[in-house]
């Protein structure tokens, strides 16, 4: 079983839709959870960062972490064509000096005008 | 503040050659991590450096190595290149003590 599982999609939605992206994980030591957005032929860009369980909102983006279910989500409200990209979840246990991030394989999202 | 920069952006090599990639972190960031991204495996952790010391290493063969200089700039080297080393190599930097990592644009390596 992979440490982090992410539905690769592709996911295609109309402009203005609410998008839900999800990851599950198996390592209960993970405490730090991130979502990155990666446009084609670019490096990943940090979107959201959360520690432990709970919700965090930033503009049209909401990140949710449910550690009891080992499940994290990213919601995008009022999706725009500019949101078309690959979305990667990432997590770490943050133990000591361990700065290794473990990534999901990414979900390819297309928002159609 | 300038972001993470990586050079070169594109590279074509042949099997058996070696390659060196360079990364300059965000000013003030002392931790530099390297990742390999391929369509099949996604993003995989190579190693992390802090204050010129490798603190963590992923499951890659010894052909993959790196180093960090006193100004926090980092290089990674791949010796005896194989076709399977074709990938996007990403460098990320972070402030010591924080989990968030900021990525550069990557170096796309093609091995023929």
Tell me which residue of B13, B4, B32, B1 sits closest to B108, measured CA to CA: B13
Measured in whole angstroms, how far is the alpha carbon of residue A42 from the centre of its chain? 17
* Least Cα separation, residue A98 to chain B (angstroms): 7
pLDDT at A98: 59
Provide the pLDDT confidence category of residue B97 given band limits of 50, 70 and 90: low
* Chain A nearest-CA residue for B4: A43
Interface contact flag, B55 A88, Cβ < 8 Å: no
Q: What is the mean pLDDT of chain B?
A: 94
Q: How far is residue B94's CA from residue B96's CA, in Å, rounded to a whole number?
A: 6
Q: Is the pLDDT of residue B31 over 60?
A: yes
Q: How far is CA B24 from CA A99, A104, B42, B46, B101, in A?
A: 18, 26, 23, 17, 14
User: How high is the pLDDT of residue B95?
Assistant: 85
User: Which of A43, A47, A50 to probe the B interface (max B CBs under 10 A)?
Assistant: A43
State whether A94 and B94 contact (CB < 8 Å): no
Residues of chain A below pLDDT 70: 1, 95-98
Residue B75: beta bridge partners?
A: B22, B67
């Amino acid at each position: 079983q992979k440490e982090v599982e992410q539905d690769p999609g592709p996911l295609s939605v109309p402009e203005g839709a609410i998008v839900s992206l999800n990851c599950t994980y198996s390592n209960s030591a993970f405490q730090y959870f991130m979502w990155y957005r990666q446009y084609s032929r670019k490096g990943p860009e940090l979107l959201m960062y959360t520690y432990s369980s709970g919700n965090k909102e930033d503009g049209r983006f909401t990140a949710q972490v449910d550690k009891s279910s080992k499940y994290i989500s990213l919601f995008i409200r009022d999706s725009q064509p500019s949101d078309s990209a690959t979305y990667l979840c990432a997590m770490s246990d943050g133990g000591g000096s361990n700065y290794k991030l473990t990534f999901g394989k990414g979900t390819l999202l297309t928002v159609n005008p | 503040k300038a972001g993470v920069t990586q050079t070169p952006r594109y590279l074509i090599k042949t099997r058996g050659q070696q390659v060196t990639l360079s990364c300059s972190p965000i000013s003030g960031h002392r931790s530099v991590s390297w990742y390999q991204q391929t369509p099949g495996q996604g993003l995989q952790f190579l190693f992390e450096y802090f204050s010129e010391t490798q603190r963590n290493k992923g499951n890659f063969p010894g052909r993959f190595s790196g180093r960090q200089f006193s100004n926090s700039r980092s290089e990674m080297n791949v010796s005896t290149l194989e076709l399977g080393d074709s990938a996007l190599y990403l460098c990320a930097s972070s402030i010591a003590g924080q989990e968030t990592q900021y990525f550069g644009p990557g170096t796309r390596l093609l091995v023929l």
